[in-house]
Structure 1
Amino acid sequence: MTAAGEGRTEFVDEMLELLWPAPESARRVRARRSQPGSRDLVMIPGARAPHLLVPLTSRAATARVIDSWGRAGSPQRRLAGSVLSWGVRLGLAGLLTADRVRVPGAGEGSLLERHLSEVVGCPVSLTVIVTRARANRKPVLQLVDQEGVVRAFVKVGTDELTRGLVQAETTALRSVSGVSSVRVPQVLAAGGWNGLELLVLSPLDLAAAQRVRDLTRWEPAMREVSRIGGVTREPWLNSQYRSSLHSRVHLLAEARAGRLAAALAQVDRCLHDQSLLIGSWHGDWATWNCGATDGTGYLWDWERFASGVPVGYDAAHFLTHQTLLDPALETAALVPGYSAALAPVLARLGVPEAQAKVVTLLYLVEIAVRYLTDGQDEVGNVGAVLEGMIDGIVAASRQLVEEVA
Structure 2
Amino acid sequence: MTDDLRSRSDGLGWVSRAIFGDDRIGLTVDGDPPAGHRVVARYTVVPSVGRARFLLPRGAARATAAALLAYNALRPPKVRALRAGLGGLARLGVLDAARFPALTVSLPADVEPAEALLAAHLADVLDVHPAYAACGVRPPDPNHKPTLQLFAADGTPGGYAKIGWNGATRELVAAEAAVLRTLPEVSGVGDHPVVPRLLAAFDWAGHPVAVVEPLPTAVRGVGEQDPPRLDAILAVARRGGPPTPSRPIGGSDFVARLTAEADRAARWDPAGARAVDAVAALARRYAGTEVEFGHWHGDWVPWNLGRHAGRLVAWDWEHSGPDVPVGFDLAHDSFQRALVLGRRSAAEAAQAADGQLTRHGDRLGLSADGRRLVVDAYLVEMWLRSCRLARAGAGWNEALHPALLDVVEDRLADVVEDRLTDRAEDRLAD
TM-score category (smaller protein): 0.7 to 0.9
Over 3 Å counting, the alpha-carbon distance change for 1:91 and 1:226 in structure 2 is closer
Deviation of 1:54 after TM superposition, in Å, equals 1.3
Equivalent position amino acid for 1:247 in 2: A
The range that moved more, 358-367 or 185-194, is 185-194
Hey, what's the Cα distance between the residues in 2 that align with 1:264 and 1:176? 31
**Partner SS state of residue 324, structure 1:** helix
**Contact (CA 8 Å) 1:141, 1:154: kept in 2 or not?**
yes
Alignment partner, residue 341 of structure 1: 356
TM-score, scaled to structure 2:
0.80
Aligned match for 1:226, one of 231, 237, 241: 237
**Alpha-carbon RMSD:** 3.3
Hey, what's the Cα distance between the residues in 2 that align with 1:171 and 1:91? 40
Hey, what's the Cα distance between the residues in 2 that align with 1:393 and 1:249? 14
Hey, what's the Cα distance between the residues in 1 that align with 2:225 and 2:80? 25
Alignment partner, residue 98 of structure 1: 100
**Contact (CA 8 Å) 1:276, 1:310: kept in 2 or not?**
yes
**Partner SS state of residue 398, structure 2:** helix
Over 3 Å counting, the alpha-carbon distance change for 1:16 and 1:248 in structure 2 is same
Aligned match for 1:119, one of 108, 125, 141: 125
The range that moved more, 8-17 or 193-202, is 8-17
**Contact (CA 8 Å) 2:161, 2:211: kept in 1 or not?**
yes
Gaps of 5+ in 2: 1-7, 32-36, 418-430
Alignment partner, residue 240 of structure 1: 253
Over 3 Å counting, the alpha-carbon distance change for 1:85 and 1:294 in structure 2 is closer
**Contact (CA 8 Å) 1:325, 1:385: kept in 2 or not?**
no
The range that moved more, 253-262 or 90-99, is 90-99
Over 3 Å counting, the alpha-carbon distance change for 1:135 and 1:249 in structure 2 is farther
**Contact (CA 8 Å) 1:163, 1:196: kept in 2 or not?**
yes
Aligned match for 1:212, one of 216, 223, 233: 223
Alignment partner, residue 156 of structure 2: 149
Deviation of 1:384 after TM superposition, in Å, equals 4.2
* 2:206 is the counterpart of 1:188: no
Over 3 Å counting, the alpha-carbon distance change for 1:100 and 1:315 in structure 2 is farther
Hey, what's the Cα distance between the residues in 2 that align with 1:64 and 1:333? 41
Alignment partner, residue 371 of structure 2: 356
**Contact (CA 8 Å) 1:135, 1:376: kept in 2 or not?**
no
**Contact (CA 8 Å) 1:281, 1:305: kept in 2 or not?**
yes
Alignment partner, residue 302 of structure 1: 317
**Partner SS state of residue 199, structure 2:** strand
The range that moved more, 123-132 or 102-111, is 102-111
Alignment partner, residue 317 of structure 1: 332
**Contact (CA 8 Å) 1:190, 1:199: kept in 2 or not?**
yes
**Contact (CA 8 Å) 1:234, 1:275: kept in 2 or not?**
yes
Alignment partner, residue 396 of structure 1: 411
* Percent of residue pairs bearing the same amino acid type: 26
Hey, what's the Cα distance between the residues in 2 that align with 1:334 and 1:37? 52
Any idea what the Cα deviations from partners look like across 1:317-350, whole Å, max 9, x if unmatched?
1111112247952444553442122223232122
Aligned length: 392
**1:2-401 aligned within 5 A:** 10-20=10-20, 21-26=22-27, 29=29, 37=39, 39-68=41-70, 72-93=74-95, 96-105=98-107, 111-123=117-129, 124-131=131-138, 133-179=140-186, 180=189, 181-214=192-225, 216-228=227-239, 231-252=244-265, 253-293=268-308, 295-325=310-340, 329-375=344-390, 382-398=397-413
**Contact (CA 8 Å) 2:346, 2:404: kept in 1 or not?**
yes
**Contact (CA 8 Å) 2:386, 2:396: kept in 1 or not?**
no
Deviation of 1:400 after TM superposition, in Å, equals 7.7
TM-score, scaled to structure 1:
0.84
**Partner SS state of residue 148, structure 1:** coil
Hey, what's the Cα distance between the residues in 2 that align with 1:206 and 1:60? 15
**Contact (CA 8 Å) 2:45, 2:55: kept in 1 or not?**
yes
Select the structure of larger CA radius of gyration.
2
**Contact (CA 8 Å) 1:210, 1:291: kept in 2 or not?**
yes
**Contact (CA 8 Å) 1:216, 1:345: kept in 2 or not?**
no
**Contact (CA 8 Å) 1:24, 1:104: kept in 2 or not?**
yes
Equivalent position amino acid for 2:56 in 1: V
Hey, what's the Cα distance between the residues in 1 that align with 2:338 and 2:140? 19
**Contact (CA 8 Å) 2:54, 2:134: kept in 1 or not?**
yes
Deviation of 1:215 after TM superposition, in Å, equals 6.0
Over 3 Å counting, the alpha-carbon distance change for 1:71 and 1:41 in structure 2 is farther
Gaps of 5+ in 1: 1-7
**Partner SS state of residue 324, structure 2:** strand
Deviation of 1:235 after TM superposition, in Å, equals 2.5
**Contact (CA 8 Å) 1:335, 1:393: kept in 2 or not?**
no
Any idea what the Cα deviations from partners look like across 1:59-96, whole Å, max 9, x if unmatched?
22212322347655344434433433343344433564
**Partner SS state of residue 168, structure 2:** helix
Equivalent position amino acid for 2:250 in 1: L
**Partner SS state of residue 402, structure 2:** helix
**Partner SS state of residue 66, structure 2:** helix
**Partner SS state of residue 149, structure 2:** strand
**Contact (CA 8 Å) 1:169, 1:302: kept in 2 or not?**
yes
**Contact (CA 8 Å) 1:46, 1:97: kept in 2 or not?**
no
Hey, what's the Cα distance between the residues in 1 that align with 2:246 and 2:120? 50
Over 3 Å counting, the alpha-carbon distance change for 1:245 and 1:131 in structure 2 is farther
**Contact (CA 8 Å) 1:259, 1:390: kept in 2 or not?**
yes
